[in-house]
């Protein structure tokens, strides 16, 4: 993905910040490079493998 940024003057007044989640970025100012990454960290015990419930054709019961 190519992303073009055109920097202009930034005037920041007051900032009232309640919280920033672990998957968020709060940035004021310049950054030459921002690298984003993601990880899927679901514990193994939450993985459910079969038996699968069959779907009923036609959506009826």
Give the Cα separation of 41 and 47 in Å (integer): 11
What is the SS3 assignment for 44? helix
| pTM for this predicted structure | 0.29
Q: pLDDT class for 61, splitting at 50, 70, 90?
A: low
Answer yes or no: are the C-beta atoms of 25 and 33 closer than 8 Å.
no
Task: Kindly report, residue by residue over 3-29, the tens digit of the pLDDT.
Answer: 888 878 878 888 888 877 766 777 777
pLDDT computed for residue 18 by the predictor: 83
Checking if the pLDDT of 60 tops 70, the result is: no
């Amino acid at each position: 993905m190519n992303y073009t940024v055109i920097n202009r003057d930034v005037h920041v007044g007051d900032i009232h910040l309640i919280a920033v989640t672990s998957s968020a970025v709060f940035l004021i100012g310049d950054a030459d490079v921002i690298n984003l990454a993601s990880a899927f960290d679901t514990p193994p015990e939450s993985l459910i493998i079969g038996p699968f419930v069959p779907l009923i054709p036609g959506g009826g019961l």
